[in-house]
Amino acid sequence: MTLLFDGKAFRLEQDQDLGLLTFDLKDEKINKLGDVSLPELDGLLKDFKKKFPTIKALLFRSAKPGSFIVGADLNLVRSMKDSSEAENASREGQRIFNILEDLGLPTLAAVEGPCAGGGTELILACKYRVVSDSARTAISLPEVNLGFLPGWGGSYRLPRLVGLGTALDMILTGKSIRADKAVKIGLAEQSIPAALFGDEILKLGRRLAAGEKPFKPRRDPGLLHKIQKDQPALLQNFWAGRRFVFHQAKGGVTSKTRGNYPAPLRILDVIEKSWGERREKALDLEAKAFGELWGTTESKNLVGLFFLSEEAKRDTGVTLKSDVVKALPKISEVAVLGAGVMGGGIASQSAAKGMRTLVKDISWDSVSKGLAHAKKLASESLKRKKINKVEHEAWMSRIRGQVDYSGFKAVDLVIEAVVENIDVKKTVLKEVEVLVRPDCIIASNTSSLRVSDMASAMQDSSRLVGLHFFNPVHKMPLVEVVSHDKVSEEAVARAVQFVKDIGKTPVVVKDGPGFLVNRILMPWLNEAGYCLLEGYSIEEMDKTLKDFGMPMGPCELLDEIGLDVAVKVAKILYKDLGERSKPSDAIDRILGEKDNKRLGRKSGLGFYTWDKPGGKRVEPDVGGIEKLVFAGQSSPNAPEHTPESLVRRQIFPMINEAAVILKEGLTAGPAQVDLAMIFGTGFAPFRGGLCRYADSVGLERVVAELERLSEIHGARLAPSQALKDFAANGGKFYRS
């Protein structure tokens, strides 16, 4: 093996006639394409055959364990000054990858681990691709999730490699493709067992260098491969078929995004216009679109959200020095008290990430239900091929159900997820405290009760934290880590690290009524109740707020939460927060039904009918709700309004509460509020979060509108002094 080049990002070696180009970005845990690696790659590839005439094939690999290339360095994207600079950056990446594609000798990309964005565009410029069957291997083009499109040739090369339909599915969703599927769709030539990967890729590279053809001839994917399983193949291969497919795709995108995200439609436009065109023309269309989309507010907000998420991964949540935090013992064994839906979900998530997990409840019937829920989640991951059978068996083997406290001396963390009753929780915490080690962290999954109230029942409250998971646990990325006056920073830091280790995003908040997310959410849901009493329809409210960008409207969300739970939380917050949290009695009227079974999705009936308890939404039960809310009389006609005024009526009270929370110092700043609201409620990501949205509207305007609304509807809508202070002299939540 002869070393030909050793730079800051790449190492080029020669093994007989084979060149080995190894990506190993110095002082980084992962490989990114940026201001160091791209110029170095450019310099290596220029006049490659002239500089290295004895190399007959080139193998591209990564030196980072379990990781290939995670994409472009988004700091470069964020630092661009204008759309023209963004377009030029796209053209520069295209130029370098064109050199790779035109190298004039066989090129083989050996992918093990994550390969995303620019990394995927790089392997598309290679002639061949092989993948490791490691569970970590995943190939994606996620740029749509950042508000732009693949800008280094991905929109041109992927459709021509795997077919138009498959490519659209990947590019419009940003979904990751595992190793077996990459081979199936023609994205990779071969999948290699992870244990043999290093040796096998060298063998393949040497065969290519010797002039052999180690791979089977590529199957023609067809123009529109995998658009619809029942779509006739003949239709797929004619212009009329393509036109139909683009029409269908545009309709699907418009329906899904409600016109709030410009990137998907622009991507479709670029791919449709570039189909059948020469590479030069297609890449020109791509670069122009990249520049345009980079300049949109939506893209800037989505990129900002990415950095918020990355900062949360690095944040320890405490003021302790980083070396002190790193030295704290890791949590590897967990016990969950309560085997309900939340307890089963928390246990399943912990076990999925490699932690041995005990699940305790008071009866075997309850335990079996919790384990069944955990098994269902694991089976769904297996069915969707997110894990293999071995991983599925290992997942389930790490969970043990029981009705006693055996084994609790070995656990590092106990999470209480029993009924939302302060006396029950105090009893459970007092009981478990003496059964675990002194260094064991104890946490409560309460969603509304004060952690400090529970702490009063414990001998050592310094190890008690709140870990508020959101339902469903396996889907919701946020966990609120709740601190209180007596908790130690070490306990908070270990809890934060645990949340990261199980694949969730932590946001640290101080103890208080409703913590952060529920406290901000309830003014919206309360106001929806008042609007209902005034004659606003279920359908109109839900449609308007979904058009605004919320994943659900208020009525559907109340059904998801559970009407009984929503009322309970609303009354707790009203008791603590006063007039601005005064709930309407709309839901009380609904729950007043004799032999009430109208609890929302969990009972199969709420504002909507559901096909079964816990099932799919069918339609709003307008007649049933009107009968309960208006005592059998017709609902009044809603006041004259527009969709915009309805949004202001329901969203601005949330902004008001966020201002109070920030003034009280319950969390570090507006970035934490925005991250929590997006990850905890799905608040419109393209708007950048609640505080970012408020700044875009203008806080002075929010204050003025709330003053107007309070004169009409009451003091609950009056702007807080905290909001007025933020708004003073054109102020914003974000100071820069």
Which candidate in 468, 484, 641, 713 is catalytic?
A: 468
Q: Is 641 a catalytic residue?
A: no
d(CA 40, CA 386): 35
Q: Outline where DSSP puts E strands in 565-662.
A: 608-610, 617-620
Burial class (CB in 10 A: 0-12, 13-18, 19+), 365: exposed
Decide: 505 and 477 in contact? Cβ < 8 Å. yes
d(CA 723, CA 660): 7
CB atoms within 10 A of CB 476: 17
What DSSP designation does 196 have?
G
Rounded to whole angstroms, what are the CA distances from 437 to 257, 407, 458?
50, 11, 14
- 3-state DSSP assignment of residue 164: helix
> Sign of the CA dihedral 598, 603, 607, 608?
negative
Rg (CA), the chain: 28
* Contacts for 181 with CB less than 8 Å, ≥ 6 apart: 187, 385
Q: Outline where DSSP puts E strands in 361-495.
A: 399-402, 413-416, 441-444, 464-469, 478-483
**In terms of DSSP H, where are the helices of 384-516?**
389-397, 422-433, 451-455, 489-501
> At residue 57, what is the residue type?
A
> At residue 345, what is the residue type?
G
d(CA 278, CA 287): 14
Strand 441-444 and strand 413-416: pairing? parallel
> Sign of the CA dihedral 235, 239, 242, 244?
negative
> Sign of the CA dihedral 178, 183, 184, 186?
positive
Q: Which of 586, 668, 666, 591 is nearest to 629 (CA)?
A: 586
d(CA 672, CA 675): 5
CA 564 to chain centre: 28
* Contacts for 421 with CB less than 8 Å, ≥ 6 apart: none
B/e letters for 514-542, b = 16+ CB within 10 Å, e = fewer, are bbbbbbbbbbbbbbbbbbbebebbbebbb
Decide: 400 and 440 in contact? Cβ < 8 Å. no
> Sign of the CA dihedral 563, 565, 568, 573?
negative
Decide: 160 and 190 in contact? Cβ < 8 Å. no
Q: Which neighbouring-strand residues pair with 617?
A: 610
Peptide bond into 472 cis (omega under 30): yes
d(CA 724, CA 702): 9
CA 14 to chain centre: 42
d(CA 719, CA 726): 11
Q: Which neighbouring-strand residues pair with 466?
A: 444, 482
Structure tokens belonging to residue 209: 């260098």
Q: Outline where DSSP puts E strands in 578-734.
A: 608-610, 617-620
Long-range contacts of residues 244-252, Cβ cutoff 8 Å, at least 24 apart: 245/164, 245/165, 245/168, 246/272, 249/168, 249/172
**In terms of DSSP H, where are the helices of 276-359?**
279-294, 297-314, 322-327, 341-352
Decide: 392 and 349 in contact? Cβ < 8 Å. no
At 64, give phi and psi (nearest 5°): -80, 125
At 161, give phi and psi (nearest 5°): -90, -45
Active site residues per annotation: 468
